[in-house]
Each structure stands twice: as C-alpha cells, then as structure tokens.
C-alpha cells in the first residue's frame, strides 16, 4: 500500500532520506499551503511532518480522514492539539533528543551575548560607532544562574554554566537532591531560584501551568539588574511584564529566542536596546535538524509498518525491552476483546482485564488498549485504534479496569477479560503458547483450546445424548462445514457449551433456526 506523507515545514533533506528511500511512500514537501489550503488538502495524507510553524489544530485534525500520524521534528508539541489528535486516533510522535545540544549551546550563546552586549556592540560598530564605554559587560564567573525547568536542555545548560564557573540553582518538580548533587548544582524552590539568580533561564515546556510563569510578581522577587533568557517557549515569560521590568530598570537585559506570537517582528520589546533576540534558532543547526528529521522519519516509517514507535507523545512511552516482551500479546488481546463483545452480544458497561502468571510482572497498558480496541471495533468500526481506544471507551461511559495475579492457573501467562452488560457478566481467557501462538482457553467457566481466528459459533446447551449429532445435521442442512468442535460441561446433564469453528459466516437465518432446536439455550456467531 502506498502512503502519502506531507512535510509542511522545512526539514533537513538528509534527515528525511529514510522516507525518500521507501518505495511505498510518496512525499509532498513544503507545498506552501496556507491554513485554508492545508485544510482543503489534509485528507489526502497518511502522515504529516512538521516543525513548529504549522499549527496542527483541531479543525485540521478533524478534516484529516486518512491521517494516522503527526511527526514533530523537534521537542515542543504546543503547536499540535494533542487532545484532538488522541480523540481522532492520530498518534503524535516527536524527536525529543536530537536538538538538546543545539538548544543548550544556543542558550549559552544568548547568556554570553547578554553579559557582553555582543549584538548591541556589533550593531553599533556596523553603524560606524566605536563605542567601548557603552558596552562594558559583566563576567559570568561567580555569578548565579537560576534554571527553571531542569529537563534535557536545562541540565545541559547547567553543565555548561558550571564550565563558566557559575553557581547554578535550579527548580524542577522532578529534580531530586541526588541529581542536583550529580550535576554539582543546588536544588531550590521556584522562589529561591528567582530570588538568587543573576541570570535566569527557563527550560520548561509551555503548558497551562507554565504560561506566564515568569510574570510581574516573579520579576518583583528577582535581584535588581537580573538578566533573563528564554530559549524554551514564548509565553512562559509574560512579554508585557518583561517589557515593564526592563523599562523600570529591574531587569538589566533579556535574551529571547522564542515569543508568544511567531513570527515576532513587531513588538515593543524589540525597541529596547536591552533585548537581544533571535528568530527561534535554538534548534537550528545542521546537526540537530538532521537528527530530528531522521528520528521522526524513522518513527513515521515504523508506525506505517505497524511497528511500535520510539517517541510517542499521546501514548505512554514504553522502554523497547518491555515493548518487545508485550508486543506478542497485542494480537491475542484484540481477538479476545472481539470474541467477548460478540459473545456478550449486547451493549456493555464494564470491562475488567486480569493478567496472570508472567504477564502480571509486565507493563500491560498497551495490551489493555488492544483488548479495548477489539471490543470497541464492534461499536465503532475502524476508527478505533490504540491511540483513542481508552478515550473512546471513556466517552462511551465504559469503565475499564486492570488487575494482576501471579497465580499461573495452569498457564505461564493468561489474559482474562470479563465484560458486564444488562444480562450479566461474560468471561473469556486466552494464552500465548510457545510454538502455537494465541489460544482461546476459556469461555465463561468452560475449558476450550483453539486459535481465536475466523468464523466461530458458541452454543450453550443442556448436556444430553444426541445434541451434538443434531447440531451437526443442522449445520449440514445449511451447507456449513464444521472445521472443529469442542464441548465442555458443568456436569453430567448440566449446562454445556459447544465451540465450533466453521468455514464461513453463520447467517442470521441459519442461526435462528439452529437456536430453535431442543436443548439449545443460545447460539452466538463470532467472526474474528
Ligand atoms: P524536557 O521535557 O526534557 O524538560 C522540561 C522540564 O521542565 C522537565 O524536567 C519538567 O519537569 C520541567 N517542568 C515542567 N513544568 C515545570 C514547572 N512548572 N516548573 C519548573 N519545571 C517544570 O524538555 P527539553 O527537551 O529540555 O525542552 C525544554 C523546552 O525547550 C521545551 O519548551 C522545548 O519546546 C524547548 N525547545 C526550544 C528549542 C528552540 O529552538 N528554542 C529547541 C528545543 C527545545
Ligand atoms: C523544539 O521544540 O524542538 C524547538 O522549538 C525547535 C524547532 O521547532 O525547530
């Protein structure tokens, strides 16, 4: 199958080579579409690759009927409506590691530019002014750098600041004393960082919680003459408050790579000589652009080939070792999900999944998603997938719960799914057998052993002589070949079950006739 990939922001030619080299991928690069043209054309694409310019909005994602994946060549995904992507079953992947070094180096360059007035002096000299007095700077040595957000980039900036003989104090909700000690820095509260930094640099994502984190009150806490750096995201610093703080003299200078509205060319901040600015260049190095484009291209290819992606943003990320262990269970879980919803044959309210044996030790979240996908497919068709399965279950009012037990119950691994609807609870269990693959091993309380595939029929009946023969004849009358048949019962003359695999779908008419036979309590057709 040929996939169409739209690359709507400039990406490194070298970096997208993995995509170009794939014969089944057709790429449309930088068609220069504005928002309206993008909306008009997005439904022709299976994958969309962006940097930070393209706004991947809810209306765009809702129009993107074919779109399966959005790849962000970079870290920040604030230009992508993640909720809308999840709701529409579109996976978002990013390239979180490729530009860390470049962004950290750019931050250091901005700190140096600020401390020594390099851009201002350069500008004056270009205007033929040889002015040495105006551009006296300050040393970094023995100054304190306050870092807000000590993730990948913040930590790299801290290491480099140590190289400049600065003291570093950082605030990050996830920063431990151990990590701070390792880096040779101090851990502080946000207030401590704001109060003690001679230079303050922010490295958080832009979130509801970090929007205007550095506002007028934050500036109040800072030292007089503090210098501010933002190479993370516009909006973390309140630009109006920053302007006022510079004009009032509280802030001596600011170096900004990112802005609340980009492109950013008309703003009062740009009129201030104390402001050093670059047009979102933190990740703009040949190296970073190549790595992020390669990383994201590989993840897009992996996804289109049905493999697990490395850097999912709207799905929990699972280490590849754990993914390797659980991947074989996806198929089994999805089949069990579809089996049980056909068996229940009614709208259910509650799904409970139990993982037993070696599965109880594993990261089973993705297996649960596969099971829920198998169930919901019956209600929602192909629009349900791993990305939106739990979201859609929640929206349908279904509760999904997981439990685990180390008890092996005769199997080294066992997935049991129970669903409850108005008529009661139904149960199914399956296992992965070495060499035999997925096996269905329980239907309600009955033992069976078959591959969960193809056309199946579950018949609940009373255990009496002749039932099996009559059943065989009934199927023959409808010209349906029975491939396999298994029977189990609660006890002699009690409730019993027949599980048949048949060579074609059992039509409603035949099913209704078979259900009329004596001793038959129910007949359910299941197509996996
Ligand atoms: P990261 O996820 O590794 O680190 C972000 C850190 O911020 C995390 O440790 C997190 O715990 C912390 N954090 C979150 N909320 C916080 C809060 N309220 N207070 C303090 N800390 C908080 O991300 P990263 O790769 O280091 O990227 C950091 C930022 O830099 C992102 O906004 C990213 O988009 C941006 N970025 C910009 C450029 C550029 O071109 N200028 C390039 C790369 C990344
Ligand atoms: C990022 O978040 O990765 C950066 O802003 C870089 C970019 O958009 O190119």
Digit-coded pLDDT (tens) for 456-487: 999 999 998 988 898 889 899 999 999 999 99
Confirm whether 151 is domain-assigned.
yes
pLDDT digits over 372-383, tens only?
Answer: 999 999 888 878
Task: For residue 17, give its domain range.
Answer: 3-98+287-304
Give yes or no: residues 179 and 239 share one domain.
Answer: yes
Handedness of CA 204, 208, 211, 213 (dihedral sign): negative
Average pLDDT, the chain: 94
Task: List the catalytic residues.
Answer: 233, 262, 280
Quote the pLDDT of residue 381: 83
Give the per-residue pLDDT at 40. 97
What is the average per-residue pLDDT within 259-268? 95
Does ligand 1 lie within 6 Å of residue 452's CB atom?
Answer: no
Check pocket membership of 282 for ligand 1, CB cut-off 6 A.
yes
Ligand nearest to the CA of 52: 2
Q: How many domains does the chain have?
A: 4
At 36-79, the pLDDT tens digits run 999 999 999 999 999 999 999 999 999 999 999 999 999 999 99
Give a yes or no: residue 313 inside a domain: no
Q: Give the closest ligand to the alpha carbon of residue 236.
A: 1
- Residues facing residue 416 across a β-bridge: 354, 429
pTM: 0.83
In a domain, 118, yes or no: yes
Is 355 domain-assigned? Answer: yes
Q: Best substitution site from 282, 285, 287, 296 to test ligand 2's pocket, by max atoms within 8 Å of Cβ?
A: 282
| Test site for ligand 1: of 51, 82, 103, most ligand atoms within 8 A of the Cβ | 103
Query: Residue whose CA is closest, atom 29 of ligand 1?
Result: 232
Same domain, 411 and 435: yes
Q: For residue 232, how far is its CA from the centre of ligand 1 (angstroms)?
A: 6
Name the residue with higher pLDDT: 207 or 335: 335
Residue 102: pLDDT over 90 = yes
- Both 40 and 57 in a single domain? yes
- Judge whether 309 lies within some domain: no
Which ligand sits nearest to residue 110's alpha carbon?
Answer: 1
**How far is the centre of ligand 1, averaged over its atoms, from the C-alpha of 172 (Å)?**
10
Asked whether residue 524 is domain-assigned, the answer is yes
> Within this chain, do residues 398 and 368 fall inside the same structural domain, yes or no?
yes
Say whether both 257 and 120 belong to one domain: yes
> What is the rounded average pLDDT of the residues 238-266?
97
Contact call for residues 511 and 523 (beta carbons, < 8 A): yes
Residue 371 in contact with residue 333, Cβ under 8 Å?
A: yes
Q: Which two tokens stand for residue 414?
A: 């066992």
Residues found in the chain: 528
Q: Measured between alpha carbons, how far is 311 from 386 in angstroms, rounded to an integer?
A: 15
Residue 310 is assigned to a structural domain of this protein: no
Q: Are 41 and 19 in contact (CB under 8 A)?
A: no
For the Cβ of 233 lying below 6 angstroms from any atom of ligand 1, the answer is: yes
Q: Is 454 left (phi over 0), alpha (psi -120 to 50) or beta?
A: left
Helices (H), 396-451: none
Is the same domain home to 265 and 326? no
Instruction: Establish if 257 belongs to a structural domain.
Output: yes
User: Mean per-residue pLDDT for 299-323?
Assistant: 88
Whole-angstrom distance, CA of residue 349 vs CA of residue 400:
9
Q: Is the CB of 75 under 6 A from ligand 2?
A: yes
Q: What is the pLDDT of residue 270?
A: 97
Given 453, 475, 495, which residue is the final one in a domain? 453
Tell me: do 379 and 525 sit in the same domain: no
Helices 152-163 and 100-116: crossing angle, nearest 10°? 50
Ligand index nearest the alpha carbon of residue 278: 1
d(CA 472, ligand 1 centre) in Å: 66
Domain co-membership, 294 together with 145: no
Task: Tell me, in angstroms, the distance from the centre of ligand 1 to residue 152's CA.
Answer: 7
Per-residue confidence (pLDDT) for residue 347, from 0 to 100: 87
Sign of the four-CA dihedral 18, 89, 369, 337: negative
Cβ(431) – ligand 2 distance below 6 Å: no
Starting at the earlier edge strand, list the strands of the sheet with 186-187: 186-187, 167-171, 144-148, 199-202, 226-230, 251-256, 275-277
Residue 284 CA: which ligand 1 atom is closest? Answer: 40
User: Tokens at residue 480, please?
Assistant: 């349906």
HSE of 415, CA atoms in CB hemisphere, 13 A = 34
Check if 172 has its Cβ closer than 6 Å to any atom of ligand 1: yes
Q: Measure Cα distances from 491 to 92, 105, 402 in Å.
A: 53, 75, 31
């Amino acid at each position: 199958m040929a996939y169409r990939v739209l690359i709507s922001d400039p990406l490194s030619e070298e970096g997208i080579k993995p995509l170009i080299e794939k014969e089944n991928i057709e790429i449309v690069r930088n068609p220069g579409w504005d928002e309206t043209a993008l909306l008009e054309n997005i439904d022709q694409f299976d994958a969309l690759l962006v940097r930070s310019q393209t706004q991947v909005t809810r209306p765009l994602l809702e129009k993107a009927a074919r779109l399966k994946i959005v790849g962000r060549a970079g870290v920040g995904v604030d230009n992508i409506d993640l909720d809308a992507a999840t709701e529409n079953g579109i996976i978002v992947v990013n390239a979180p590691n490729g530009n860390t070094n470049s962004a950290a180096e750019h931050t250091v360059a901005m700190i140096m530019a600020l401390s020594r007035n390099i851009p201002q002096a350069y500008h004056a000299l270009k205007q033929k002014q040889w002015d040495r007095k105006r551009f006296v700077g300050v040393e970094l040595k023995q100054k304190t750098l306050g870092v807000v957000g000590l993730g990948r980039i913040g930590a790299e900036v801290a290491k480099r600041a140590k190289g400049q003989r600065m003291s570093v104090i950082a605030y990050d909700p996830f920063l431990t004393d151990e990590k701070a000690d390792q880096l040779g820095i101090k851990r502080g509260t946000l207030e401590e960082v704001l109060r003690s930094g001679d230079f303050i640099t922010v490295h958080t994502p832009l979130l509801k919680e970090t929007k205007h984190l550095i506002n007028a009150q934050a500036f109040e806490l800072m030292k007089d003459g503090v210098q501010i750096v933002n190479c993370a995201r516009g909006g973390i610093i309140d630009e109006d408050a920053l302007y006022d703080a510079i004009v009032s003299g509280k802030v001596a200078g600011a170096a900004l790579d990112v802005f609340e509205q980009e492109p950013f060319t008309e703003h009062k901040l740009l009129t201030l000589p104390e402001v050093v600015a670059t047009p979102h260049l933190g990740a703009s190095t040949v190296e970073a652009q190549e790595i992020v484009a390669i990383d994201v291209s590989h993840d897009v290819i992996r996804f289109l080939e049905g493999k697990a992606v490395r850097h999912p943003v709207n799905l929990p990320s699972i280490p590849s070792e754990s993914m390797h262990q659980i991947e074989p269970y996806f198929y089994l879980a999805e089949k069990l999900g579809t089996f049980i919803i056909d068996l229940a044959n009614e709208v259910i309210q509650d799904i409970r999944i139990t993982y037993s044996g070696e599965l109880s030790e594993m990261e089973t979240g993705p297996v649960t998603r596969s099971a829920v996908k198998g169930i919901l497919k019956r209600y929602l068709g192909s629009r349900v997938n791993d990305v939106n399965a739990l979201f859609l279950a929640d929206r349908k009012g279904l509760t999904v719960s997981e439990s685990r037990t180390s008890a092996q119950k005769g199997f080294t691994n066992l997935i049991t799914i129970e669903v409850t609807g108005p008529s009661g609870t139904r149960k199914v269990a399956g296992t992965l057998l070495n060499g035999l693959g997925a096996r269905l091993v329980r239907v309600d309380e009955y033992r069976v052993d078959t591959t969960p595939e193809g056309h199946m029929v579950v018949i609940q009946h009373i255990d009496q002589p002749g039932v099996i023969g009559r059943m065989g004849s009934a199927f023959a009358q409808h010209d349906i070949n029975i491939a396999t048949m298994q029977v189990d019962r609660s006890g002699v003359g009690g409730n019993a079950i027949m599980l048949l695999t048949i060579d074609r779908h059992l039509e409603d008419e035949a099913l209704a006739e078979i259900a009329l036979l004596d001793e038959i309590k129910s007949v359910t057709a299941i197509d996996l």
